[in-house]
């Protein structure tokens, strides 16, 4: 039935009244949204201005030194202005939550020295697949109360020849196989919420041969050839080779590679596909520093400076630990303190203890905040195989004698090999033949010495020098794998005791402990790498295998390998929840009266802890003499591989 005229009229009247009402509301909503948007923009601009002001205030305290260092190195005002502009831009663009961390850590500069610091290192793809999936596994990291996560190199790299990610194709972009920059920023945000700081490697010494700079150099561009060390003939390369040691004399002999496309020799100290950067060129420094700041603004809180002793080259020298290296590291430290003071530098310095202190700088002019404790890692494995802690004790004494600003990340295994760089002068003083001892160690850990319980492999064996390094997971090197294969239960129990002894000793030392992912569940060697043509040539892949989530699920099952080691790591964290592990603790070794037992004393605020670690296969007795103001005399009987903590 058709509507009546009255009904139609009423309907039109309602519609005419509703339309203006809706129109007014929409206009009001639009105006409110516009105001909110304007307020948000104003807040962002205010935050940017505050960040810029804070940067200028911090720069004011460093500007004179920064300019002096930069101009002394390059004498290039235009390049210096470019650096300052890049710094201000990075500071202004820094996200608000990261600025908050900066402010908090300026008030708490020793945050990374606290006793509750507990770290882990891993490969993103081996642990979870990619960055998004890793973000979904953070609960596993929180379960271990981690405060520090070191992810192996994840920036864009060539495939397959990338040296485990240390051949970088783009310092500003995440490798597409692992995710995107957005994925990295999202991951760091979730890690911060979980109380975990992310560490990434920054490969300062070289780029991949497929980096855009290297491609331009190969195409004949002289500007980019000056980003590297490129020579028409062998004259200068031969002068370098006469005094510069080879890093990998067997796997990658020589320090230069002939590039057919470019028609020049290029310096490649590590591998032919890694071109050494020329830091004599200020454009290189400015570009690399810009990349550091970019990554810091994505949420990276710690940078591991890879191969930092090698970054400056000079004819007539061995191109290691040169004074200019420290100028560059100091410049980087100043940049971070001005732009992102919550960020920390960790140096990878595989050098003798006498070389280490310089990389910390001085309290007035600091460089690295902390270093990888490579030398103690090596000496721990030496003590375990030889049942003799004298070399380890001497190394600890040398490190403990360093100034208070020197701090270390202690570990047993990482992505790399064990290079047997022991202190040969100390060895000779103790009556140990350095070469014979090195050969004993690397043969012991490949299981080729009678009585060895270890299963590992050699890496980079060099027949002329009889030098070699060792590969394998902690559990396999400690005897777990061999005991499982031979169905030897007593040997299995003893292997777990060795594993826990090594972790407990490592965690008791000056610095903070870092686990290699998988060691918390006793992951074994990944021999399957030999079936992969892209991996078989590098025996370090033995300990670079996918994380075994099925084995990890056994960590709560009583009596399993996984449960025993998982609970052992929990004991480490409980041990370190003590005032004697604070930043100001005094740490020293003590004579135990038995070369098989390492004794370490920690003291802080009137509290004293003694750590006794028996590296021998037999029961041993420790006697520690008394010392005024430290402790009374102490006697203790220790079972094989026992670690005991005693409060005095």
Same domain, 187 and 313: yes
- Do 548 and 604 reside in the same domain of the chain? no
Q: What is the pLDDT of residues 419-472, one digit of tens each?
A: 999 999 999 999 999 999 999 999 999 999 999 999 999 999 989 899 999 999
Q: Are residue 385 and residue 402 in the same domain, yes or no?
A: yes
Q: 575 and 437 in one domain?
A: yes
Question: Is 60 exceeded by the pLDDT of residue 14?
Answer: no
Q: CA torsion sign, 374 to 378 to 383 to 388?
A: negative
User: Which position has the token pair 């991949």?
Assistant: 208
Mean pLDDT over 392-414 rounds to 94
Rounded to the nearest 5 percent, the helix, strand and coil shares of the chain are 45, 20, 35
Same domain (yes/no): 351, 290: yes
Phi then psi for residue 491, to 5 deg, are -65, -35
As for how many domains the chain has, the answer is 4
> Residues 274-297: pLDDT tens digits?
999 999 999 999 999 999 999 999
Residues 556 and 630 in one domain: no
- Residue 566 inside a domain? The answer is yes
pLDDT (tens digit, 9 = 90+) per residue, 571-584? 999 999 999 999 99
The answer, yes or no, to whether residue 25 has pLDDT greater than 90, is no
pLDDT above 50 (res 602): yes
* pLDDT band with cut points at 50, 70 and 90 for residue 7: very low
Q: How far apart, in Å, do the first and last CA atoms of the chain sit?
A: 102
Asked, for residue 33, whether it belongs to a domain, the answer is no
Co-location of 166 and 233 in the same domain:
no
pTM, two decimals, is 0.92
Shared domain check, 237 and 322: no
Residue 591 lies in a domain: no
Tell me, yes or no, whether 353 and 482 share the same domain.
Answer: no
- pLDDT tens per residue, range 501-521: 999 999 999 999 999 999 999
Which of 351, 372, 393 terminates a domain? The answer is: 372
20-24, 126-130, 426-430: least confidently modelled range: 20-24
Specify if 25 maps to a domain. Answer: no
**Among candidate residues 315, 310, 378, the one with its CA nearest the CA of residue 348:** 310
What does the pLDDT read at residue 40? Answer: 77
Whether 27 is in a domain gets the answer: no
354 pLDDT above the threshold of 80: no
For residue 280, tell me if it sits in a domain: no
CB 376 within 8 A of CB 416: no
**Residue 435 shares a structural domain with residue 508:** yes
Ramachandran area for residue 536 (φ above 0: left; ψ -120 to 50: alpha; else beta)? alpha
Separation between Cα atoms, residue 25 and residue 600, nearest integer Å: 75
- Which string of DSSP letters, residue by residue, matches 2-59? PPPHHHHHHHHHHHHHHHHHHHHHHHHHHHHHHHHHHHHHHHHHHHHHHHHHHHHHHH
pLDDT above 50 for 3:
no
Answer with the one of 308, 340, 372 that is the final residue of a domain: 372
Burial 117-152 (b: 16+ CB within 10 A, else e): bbbbbbbbbbbbbbbeebbeebebbeebebbbbbbb
Q: Are 247 and 467 in contact (CB under 8 A)?
A: no
Q: Quick one: pLDDT band at residue 265, thresholds 50, 70, 90?
A: very high
Query: Which residue range is the domain that position 103 belongs to?
Result: 46-115+125-154+161-199+286-372
At 359-377, the pLDDT tens digits run 999 999 999 999 999 999 9
Please name the helix (run of DSSP H) or strand (run of DSSP E) that holds residue 355, with its range, or none.
helix 353-356
Structural domain ending residue among the three candidates 348, 372, 396: 372
Catalytically active residues are 306, 348
Locate 82 and state its tokens.
């470019």
| One domain for residues 315 and 363 | yes
What would the pLDDT profile of 49-75 be if each residue is shown by its tens digit?
888 999 999 999 999 999 999 999 999
DSSP letter assigned to residue 366: B
Q: How confident is the model at residue 20 (pLDDT cuts 50, 70, 90)?
A: low
Asked whether residue 147 carries a pLDDT value surpassing 90, the answer given is yes
pLDDT at 39 exceeding the cut of 90:
no
CATH, residue 219: 3.90.400.10
Convert the pLDDT of each residue in 100-119 to its tens digit.
999 999 999 999 999 999 99
- 3-class SS at 447? coil
Instruction: Inform me whether the pLDDT recorded for 9 exceeds 70.
Output: no
Q: Are residues 554 and 632 in the same domain?
A: no
Q: What is the pLDDT of residue 1?
A: 43
Which pLDDT does position 403 carry in this prediction?
86
Residue 595 lies in a domain: no
Mean pLDDT, rounded, of the chain: 94
Q: Is 642 helix (H, G, I), strand (E, B) or coil?
A: coil
Task: Give the CATH number of the domain where residue 69 resides.
Answer: 3.20.20.80
Is 509 a domain residue? yes
pLDDT at 214: 98
- Whether 17 shows a pLDDT value over 80: the answer reads no
């Amino acid at each position: 039935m058709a509507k009546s005229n009255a009904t139609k009229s009423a309907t039109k009247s309602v519609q005419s009244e509703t339309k203006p009402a809706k129109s007014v509301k929409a206009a009001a909503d639009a105006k409110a949204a516009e105001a909110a948007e304007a307020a948000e923009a104003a807040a962002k601009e205010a935050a940017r201005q505050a960040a810029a002001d804070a940067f200028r205030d911090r720069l004011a305290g460093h500007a004179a030194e920064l300019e002096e260092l930069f101009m002394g190195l390059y004498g290039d005002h235009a390049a210096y202005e470019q650096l300052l502009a890049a710094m201000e831009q990075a500071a202004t663009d820094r996200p608000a939550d990261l600025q908050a961390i900066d402010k908090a850590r300026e008030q708490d500069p020793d945050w990374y020295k606290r006793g509750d610091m507990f770290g882990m290192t891993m490969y993103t793809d081996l642990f979870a697949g990619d960055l998004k999936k890793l973000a979904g596994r953070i609960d596993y990291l929180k379960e271990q109360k981690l405060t520090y996560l070191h992810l192996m190199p994840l920036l864009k790299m060539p495939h397959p020849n990338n040296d485990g990610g240390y051949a970088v194709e783009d310092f500003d972009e995440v490798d597409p196989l692992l995710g995107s920059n957005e994925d990295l920023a999202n991951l760091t945000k979730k890690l911060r919420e979980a109380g975990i700081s992310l560490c990434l490697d920054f490969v300062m010494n070289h780029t991949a041969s497929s980096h855009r700079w290297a491609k331009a150099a190969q195409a004949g561009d002289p500007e980019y050839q000056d980003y590297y060390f490129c020579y028409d003939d062998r004259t200068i390369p031969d002068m370098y080779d006469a005094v510069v040691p080879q890093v990998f004399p067997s796997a990658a002999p020589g320090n230069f590679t002939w590039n057919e496309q470019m028609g020049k020799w290029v310096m490649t100290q590590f591998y032919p596909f890694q071109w050494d950067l020329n830091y004599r060129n200020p454009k290189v420094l400015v570009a690399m520093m810009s990349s550091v700041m970019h990554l810091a603004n994505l949420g990276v809180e710690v940078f591991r400076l890879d191969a930092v002793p090698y970054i400056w080259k000079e004819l007539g020298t061995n191109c290691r630990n040169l004074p200019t290296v420290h100028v560059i590291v100091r410049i980087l430290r100043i940049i971070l303190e001005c732009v992102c003071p919550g960020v920390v530098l960790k140096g990878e310095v595989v050098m003798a203890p006498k070389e280490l202190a310089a990389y910390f700088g001085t309290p007035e002019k600091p460089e690295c905040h902390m270093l990888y404790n490579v030398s103690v890692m090596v000496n721990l494995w030496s003590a375990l195989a030889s049942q003799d802690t004298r070399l380890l004790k001497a190394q600890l004494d040398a490190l403990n004698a360093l100034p208070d600003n020197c701090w270390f990340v202690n570990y047993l295994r990482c992505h790399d090999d064990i290079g047997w760089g022991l202190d040969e002068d100390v060895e000779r003083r103790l009556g140990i033949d350095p070469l014979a001892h090195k050969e004993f160690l690397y043969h012991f850990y490949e299981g080729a010495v009678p009585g060895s319980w270890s299963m590992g492999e050699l890496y980079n064996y060099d027949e002329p020098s009889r030098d070699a390094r060792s590969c394998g997971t902690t559990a396999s090197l400690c005897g777990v794998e061999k005991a499982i294969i031979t169905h030897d239960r007593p040997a299995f129990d003893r292997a777990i005791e060795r594993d826990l002894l090594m972790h407990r000793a490592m965690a008791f030392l000056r610095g903070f402990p870092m686990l290699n992912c998988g060691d918390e569940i006793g992951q074994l060697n990944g021999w399957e790498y030999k079936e992969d043509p892209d991996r078989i040539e590098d025996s370090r892949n033995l300990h670079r295998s996918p994380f075994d989530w099925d084995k990890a699920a056994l960590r709560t099952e009583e009596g399993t390998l996984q449960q025993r080691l998982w609970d052992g790591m929990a004991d480490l964290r409980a041990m370190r929840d003590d005032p004697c592990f604070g930043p100001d603790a005094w740490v020293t070794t003590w004579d135990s009266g038995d070369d098989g037992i390492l004794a370490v004393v920690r003291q802080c605020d009137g509290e004293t802890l003694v750590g006794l670690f028996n590296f021998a296969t037999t029961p041993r007795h420790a006697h520690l003499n008394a010392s005024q103001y430290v402790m009374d005399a102490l006697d203790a009987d220790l079972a094989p591989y026992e670690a005991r903590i005693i409060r005095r």
